[in-house]
Structure 1
Amino acid sequence: MAAADAACAVPSGGAPRAGRVFITGASSGIGAALAAVYARRGAELGLLGRRRPALEALARSLPGNHRVYAVDVRYRAALHAVAADFLAGGPVDVVIASAGISVGTVTEEPEDFDVFEAIIDTNLNATVATFEPFMAAMKARGAGRLVGIASVAAVRGLPGAGAYCASKAAVRNYCESLRVELHGSGVGVVTLAPGFIRTPMTARNPYKMPFLMPVERFAELAVRAIDRNVPYIVLPWQMAWVARLLRLVPNRLYDHYAAQRGRKPRQS
């Protein structure tokens, strides 16, 4: 789809409104909801995901003209190529690495190793590969936002979710490292840590999900945090308190109760 020029505006509250936004994992869930918020604000979007029909349907439903890229984020060269195409249309204000996989894994099952690798590649390595091609231009301008998606699951390990918890803990620490590296450059790094958000991913969870938040509300709050360059935020706020309390629970007690928790189904 053709791209359209979009100027940066200033919304109420004085925070800079992004004119051009690149989002991976945009075909559904959090990525699609974030795209909807930015499109309503007049941004030009680069929408990347594996499913072209879903991306094109999303683009048609949004105001404005947007670019659609059907790419698997695990292929770094292809990801860099489409990033270069979007950069050719003008400066990019916000890059959101939203692509993610959440599947149950069990270490004793040999076939789950491939799933483990896919989760790490998609959730962690692709976050790095998504940011790489945009950083030089952002640093040269002294402006921009890089947004990573961690999770409350990064706080403590959960049974049957070793790959997912490990990947999200790594994303959280990677984004913090990057934020420190870029300190003073004008480029902000924002880490979003969702709790339970109503998306197709969480629809498969066979356990209770306290404080389940509609994805549209999450996206609105997330964009506000990105505007304000908040370094790290847990949404909804109730889960931030849960995360703080979980860190304080002694290992013996945590192990006893966490072992009884329901487990996400394995892919295999």
Structure 2
Amino acid sequence: MNGMSYRTALVTGASSGLGRGLALWLGKRGVKVYAAARRREHLEALAQEAQAAGAHVEPVELDVSHADATLERVRALDEACGGLDLVVANAGVGGQTNARDFPWEHAKKVIDVNVTGAAATLSAVLPRMVERNRGHLVGVSSLASCRGLPQNAAYSASKAFLNTFLESLRVDLQGTQVRVTCIKPGFVKTEMTARIQHTMPFLLEADAAVELMGQAILRAEAEYGFPWQMASAVGVAKWVPNLLFDAVASKVL
């Protein structure tokens, strides 16, 4: 399945940032997009902007941290639209989880959204996609998944889960027409990064990041990390010995 053959798509975390931008990007290319998030008023504003641009974006109020309800809702959407061609698990939560004063309640929220919520979103209609022998699953991970970054135990680990989950799905689906893509953004100017106080190298504007993501989806890339400078640095960091990594990383933040 190539990008131009998408009829329908679900994008979670679509009330702001990359999810909002991607929902508009797909909608402007003729895809009927179900834009899902918790904040209904933001989704209504998105739908109006899309309509003004000649795109069809339908708001879906959804909290992916409630996994069972997410599973049911995504399956209902799949039935209502005659089959979702593209599912993008973009909803995510960030924030620091420093081991010296570990905030369990926040860590649990990160796991509920980034791990359980993402897995529920992606697996909800997977059996139906296999049965139809068409479809595309996309998970929005992060370059922060490469290693355990300082003060980010929950976030780095949650995105590492998504990487491995998607990789296993991709391997299992070889020989079918169901595609799997893992996207790993670096720093992008969004609501989430607006709260970050440390330096963010190679910071991208949201529109530029959305374009890169959209094109990677259309190409059905297995994995795609950006910007290339940060992705290259992360590739090297994977192979740095633990003693050196620990010494350097502990002084970064």
TM-score normalised over the length of structure 2:
0.93
Q: 1:22 aligns with which of 10, 18, 25?
A: 10
CA contact (8 A) 1:175 1:189 kept: yes
Map of 1:40-59 to 2, 5 A cutoff? 40-59=28-47
Local SS of the residue matching 1:96? strand
Instruction: Provide the residue aligned with 2:144 in structure 1.
Output: 153
Give 1:180 deviation, angstroms.
0.9
CA contact (8 A) 1:156 1:165 kept: yes
Instruction: Provide the residue aligned with 1:141 in structure 2.
Output: 132
CA contact (8 A) 1:94 1:147 kept: yes
Q: 1:35 aligns with which of 18, 23, 27?
A: 23
Moved more, 15-24 or 172-181: 15-24
CA distance in 1 between counterparts of 2:128 and 2:63 reads: 24
Instruction: Provide the residue aligned with 2:98 in structure 1.
Output: 106
> 1:81 is aligned with what amino acid?
E
CA distance in 2 between counterparts of 1:142 and 1:99 reads: 26
Unaligned runs of 5+ in 2: none
Give 1:16 deviation, angstroms.
3.4
Give 1:101 deviation, angstroms.
0.4
Instruction: Provide the residue aligned with 1:95 in structure 2.
Output: 87
> 2:89 is aligned with what amino acid?
A
> 2:99 is aligned with what amino acid?
T
Moved more, 130-139 or 77-86: 77-86
Give 1:15 deviation, angstroms.
4.8
Give 1:190 deviation, angstroms.
0.1
> 1:82 is aligned with what amino acid?
R
Moved more, 137-146 or 184-193: 137-146
Q: 1:81 aligns with which of 57, 72, 89?
A: 72
Instruction: Provide the residue aligned with 2:210 in structure 1.
Output: 219
Give 1:221 deviation, angstroms.
1.4
CA contact (8 A) 2:94 2:155 kept: yes
- Kindly provide the CA deviation profile for residues 103-152 of structure 1, in whole angstroms up to 9, marking residues without a partner as x: 11123436x11211110110011111002221122112211110011111
> 2:30 is aligned with what amino acid?
G
CA contact (8 A) 2:23 2:57 kept: no
CA contact (8 A) 1:154 1:166 kept: yes
CA distance in 2 between counterparts of 1:37 and 1:187 reads: 22
Map of 1:145-224 to 2, 5 A cutoff? 145-224=136-215
Moved more, 247-256 or 207-216: 247-256
Decide whether aligned partners of structure 1 residues 15 and 69 sit closer, same or farther in structure 2, where only a CA change above 3 A counts: closer
> 1:184 is aligned with what amino acid?
G
CA contact (8 A) 2:36 2:62 kept: yes
CA distance in 2 between counterparts of 1:151 and 1:71 reads: 22
CA distance in 2 between counterparts of 1:142 and 1:237 reads: 33
CA distance in 1 between counterparts of 2:3 and 2:95 reads: 37
CA contact (8 A) 1:69 1:82 kept: no
- Kindly provide the CA deviation profile for residues 221-252 of structure 1, in whole angstroms up to 9, marking residues without a partner as x: 11111111110010111112111121232222
> 1:130 is aligned with what amino acid?
T
Alignment of 1:236 with 2:236, yes or no, is no
Local SS of the residue matching 1:208? coil
Moved more, 197-206 or 14-23: 14-23
Moved more, 40-49 or 246-255: 246-255
CA distance in 2 between counterparts of 1:225 and 1:233 reads: 7
Moved more, 100-109 or 172-181: 100-109
Give 1:55 deviation, angstroms.
0.8
Q: Which has the higher helix share?
A: 2
